[in-house]
Amino acid sequence: MKNSINVGVVQQQAWNDKQRSLAESERGIRALAQRGAQLVLLQELHATRYFCQCEDTEVFDLAEPLEGPTTRFLSELAGELDIVIVGSIFERRAPGLYHNTAVVLDTDRGLVGTYRKMHIPDDPGFYEKFYFTPGDAGHSKGFTPIDTSVGRLGVLVCWDQWYPEAARLMALAGADMLLYPTAIGWDPSDESDEKQRQKEAWTLIQRSHAVSNGIPVLAANRVGHEEDPSDVGGGIDFWGGSFVAGAQGEMLALAGEGTEELLVTLSLARSEQVRRIWPYLRDRRIDAYGDITERYLDR
């Protein structure tokens, strides 16, 4: 593991035209690489629009095999630029079996790891259970960090970011940092105060994972308004707000609501110092946490 690395986050719009969307991803990746980025995080489903606003079986045509065109494109780019890229695909694993999958491409080694989204939401405008099967749990699956040339990456996806259990398990497995590709935004009809509360909660919960685990957090979100193809809802205003936080939750870089690239130098060695001051892993009462695996405690 390097003591410090330059990390980048691409915040972009996306369309159903994969070539157009990937061209926008490439633009951001190249801009960051030129500035010295060694690791670049892309947002959730960056190659297409966020199609989960309605349920439509034709959308499954957008899915790709794990090592399909999008993964190959990102792999070639990682090799050319000598960087690590964390991308996102709508994965077709088998007929009728699809995942929301993060792919990790490491310089000239190509695909070195994947993470299939574990927590799948099902809410108005976010009908993901129709499209995605949760990732598999168990050894070498689920919440398992991915080893790369820049460190051990704890990759999680969007709805996973609200769950402290997921972040903790990645930290316990030795993740050097947490990365959250995301697609989240407002219902245009929400009041401005409610919008602000939602966005602040989203930022706060992820920064709290940095604090409670003593490791940095990178979050990449999309931007722009995307219509509901069914015309039932009012669409989603994706709020951007991508950021990089340090091991004490301090905000190192924060994007606005437009297309942006963030670049930060992270001191990975600092996590050791932070954990010496705040030794949460030392003081965990693992003998008393058995009930955490229960759905609810009816006592």
Catalytically annotated residues: 44, 117, 158
- What does the H/E/C string look like for the chain? CCCEEEEEEEECCCCCCHHHHHHHHHHHHHHHHHCCCCEEECCCCCCCCCHHHCCCHHHHHHCECCCCHHHHHHHHHHHHHCCEEEEEEEEEEECCEEEEEEEEEEHHHEEEEEEECCCCCEECCEEHHHCCCCCCCCCCCCCCCEEECCEEEEECCHHHHHCHHHHHHHHHCCCCEEEEECCCEECCCCCHHHHHHHHHHHHHHHHHHHHHHCCCEEEECCEEEECCCCCCCCCEEEECCCEEECCCCCEEEECCCCCEEEEEEEECCHHHHHHHHCCHHHHCCHHHCHHHHCCCCCC
